[in-house]
Structure formats: C-alpha cells, structure tokens
Structure 1
Amino acid sequence: MANLDVEDFIQQNRAVADQVETYRGYWESDKHWLPRREFILRNFNDFEDPHLDHLLALSMVWANNIFMGCRYSTELLERVKEMAEGIVVEDAPVFKTRDEIMKKQQGR
C-alpha cells in the first residue's frame, strides 16, 4: 500500500481509519506514527478481534526495530518485516551493533 493507497483506503474506510487513529501513542511523532499506521492498516483484516492486540504489538516491534534499533528474535523480525513489505520509511536511522563497532575498531 503506497502512501497514496493508504490515503485512498482511509477515505473509503473512515470507521476503520478512525479506530486505527486511537492506537497512536501520545509520544509518537508523525514520522513514527504514519509508517506504523500503514503497518496496522495493511494487516488489519488479518487480525480481527480478539487478536487486534497482537497486531498492535507486532506494529510496535516493527517500529521499535526501525526507529530505535531494538533487537528481537530472528523469527519475529522476519515476520514483521514480511508484514511491512513495501512500507517506505523516510530518514530511518541506521544502527550498528556492538559487534559491528568492535569489528570496525579491530580492523584499524
């Protein structure tokens, strides 16, 4: 769902869009919320009640990995990356692990 597709979906599904807006954390900037909202909207139909909390948790895992560099199990990261396929995050930070930093230091 490209950005234009997201906006079209929101216009055509106002009730769902309004519901999804209630999941925004007060701490989330537009830069963080808009990609996470797209993640939720893309996968909303696969997680009807009572499993909606699971979708919201997966959206936070994805956002935490992208924006804060949080690490999770390989299986979990593969799942959320597959669920987020096609979502474009502009100016996403790039994180290096301690091992990557140490390897670079040793190479000098």
Structure 2
Amino acid sequence: MSVQDVDDFLRQNRAEAERVDTFRGYWESEKHWEARREFILRNMSDFDDEQLDHLLSLSMVWANNVFMGCRYNAELLERVKGMAEGIVVEDAPVFKTRDEIMKKQQSR
C-alpha cells in the first residue's frame, strides 16, 4: 500500500478514516502519524476489534523504533518490521548504539 493507496482508501472510507484518526497521539508529527497510520491500515484486517489495542501497541513499537531509535527484543522488532514491510519513511533518522559508537572510536 503506497501513500497514494492510503490516501485513496481514506477518501473512499471516510468513517474508517475518522476512526483511525482517533488513534493519533497529540505528540505525533504529521510525518510520524502518516507512517504509523499506514502501518495500522496495512494490518487492521489481521486483528479483530478485541485485538485493536495490540495492533496499536505494535504500531507504537514500530514508530518508536523508526523515529526515536527505541530498542526492543529481536523477536518483537522482527515482527513489526515484517508488518511494516513496504512502508517508506523519507528522511528517517539513523541511530547508532553506544556499542557501535565505541567500536568506531576504538578503531581510530
């Protein structure tokens, strides 16, 4: 689902668009929200209403990893990265771990 596909879906499904927009956090920039909204929309069909909180949590894990560099266990990151496959985030920040920074400095 491309950005255009998401926009088309939201135009054609106003009620669903309004429902999904209620999941936006007040702290999310437009760029952050658009990416997380796409994550949610891509994966909604795999979760029923009782599992919606779980999907929203997974979307936050993915967004936190992409936009803030938060780290989670490898199994969880692998799952959310698979769920986000194909989502393009332009100018996403690149984070390095302390170990990567230290290794680079030691090699100088």
Compute the TM-score of the two structures, normalised by the length of structure 2: 0.97
Q: How far did 1:48 drift? A: 1.5
Do structure 1's residue 64 and structure 2's residue 68 form an aligned pair? no
SS of alignment partner, residue 50 of structure 1: helix
Q: How far did 1:12 drift? A: 1.9
What is the rounded CA distance, in whole Å, between the counterparts of 2:39 and 2:51 in structure 1? 15
What is the rounded CA distance, in whole Å, between the counterparts of 2:36 and 2:5 in structure 1? 15
Structure 1: runs of 5 or more not aligned: none
Structure 2: runs of 5 or more not aligned: none
Aligned to 1:76: 76
Aligned to 2:99: 99
Aligned to 1:54: 54
Q: How far did 1:5 drift? A: 0.5
SS of alignment partner, residue 71 of structure 2: coil
What is the rounded CA distance, in whole Å, between the counterparts of 1:103 and 1:3 in structure 2? 38
**Which deviates more, 45-54 or 7-16?**
7-16
Structure 1 stretches of 4+ with a deviation exceeding 6 A read none
Q: How far did 1:51 drift? A: 0.3
Aligned to 1:16: 16
What is the rounded CA distance, in whole Å, between the counterparts of 1:51 and 1:20 in structure 2? 14
What is the rounded CA distance, in whole Å, between the counterparts of 1:106 and 1:81 in structure 2? 31
SS of alignment partner, residue 49 of structure 2: coil
Q: How far did 1:43 drift? A: 0.5
Tell me the number of residue pairs that the alignment of Structure 1 and Structure 2 aligns. Answer: 108
Question: Aligned-pair RMSD on alpha carbons?
Answer: 0.6
Compute the TM-score of the two structures, normalised by the length of structure 1: 0.97
Q: How far did 1:69 drift? A: 0.3
